[in-house]
Amino acid sequence: MTERRTPQEWLSLSYSGLAALDEFSFAGSLTMGMNEGVMNKPQTFEGKVVDHHQLTLQAEGQHALYGNPADVLARLNRGNDGVAINREGQGDGEFPAEDIIWLQIKGKPEETTERWRQHLRDGLAELNGIGMSAASRETTALREQTLLKAKEELEGMLATLNATSVYQLGIHRKKLLPLKMMENTEFNYKRNGVPMHETRSTSIRFQHF
């Protein structure tokens, strides 16, 4: 009976199961790379969600790079660019194949690109606020000039940005809860006319249901 479910039904059931929990924890790692070069050292993080939405997070890097994974599933459940059962992923050795089903989900490119545009703009605005609050009168003008230049450079890159995301989601067949989620996002843009390519790979393990 379970195999008669469509991939979208599996996704919806796993999101509903996670959203119904009062509390859950997760842990993961994030790796970023540029222009097919050496990947940066993975950054680890762990978090806990209480009362459905209250998120506490501990991370090696900037918290802005992480968030509530339930929000990611909610977004993918609302709309995606295709979801399919990934039968090759079921034999990765971490989970028994009979206990888990793997989905491959493609995010909507336009939505992914716009979300990252806004995220990067918000990040620059946050730095602007921190810089202004800490600046003395003598350095305010210089900071404003530097931030204006950074904003112009950022907007130039964002105008050419194209971001795509693909997710692998492992779901417990009986509990209908997500066990693991992996995201691979690719960014293509131009910086001062030079084509650039960046990648962002995230692996999250759900735990303590």
Q: Assign residue 182 the CATH number of its domain.
A: 2.50.20
3-state secondary structure of 63: helix
3-state secondary structure of 196: strand
55 and 24 share one domain:
yes
98 and 173 share one domain:
yes
Q: Which of 24-33, 65-74, 168-177, 185-194 has the lowest mean pLDDT?
A: 65-74
Domain encompassing residue 136: 113-158
147 and 169 share one domain:
no
Residue 135 has a pLDDT of 52
Q: What is the side-by-side order of every strand in the sheet holding 83-85?
A: 54-59, 43-50, 23-34, 194-207, 178-191, 162-172, 100-106, 83-85
3-state secondary structure of 177: coil
148 and 167 share one domain:
no
Non-local CB neighbours of 114 within 8 Å, separated by 6+ positions: none
pTM: 0.85
The residue ranking higher by pLDDT, 26 or 51, is 26
Residues 52, 49: Cα–Cα separation, whole Å: 6
32 and 79 share one domain:
yes
77 and 152 share one domain:
no
126 and 79 share one domain:
no
Is the per-residue pLDDT at 19 higher than 80? yes
Q: Which of 158, 174, 193 is the last residue of a domain?
A: 158
33 and 69 share one domain:
yes
154 and 168 share one domain:
no
Q: Where does the pLDDT of residue 100 fall: very low under 50, low under 70, confident under 90, or very high at 90 and above?
A: very high
21 and 85 share one domain:
yes
152 and 187 share one domain:
no
pLDDT tens per residue across span 128-177: 665 555 555 556 777 777 778 888 888 999 999 999 999 999 999 999 99
Q: Where does the pLDDT of residue 56 fall: very low under 50, low under 70, confident under 90, or very high at 90 and above?
A: confident
pLDDT > 90: percent of the chain? 56
Return the CA Rg of the chain. Answer: 20
Residue 16 has a pLDDT of 95
Mean pLDDT of 14-33: 92
Residue 132 has a pLDDT of 55
87 and 188 share one domain:
yes
> How many domains in the chain?
2
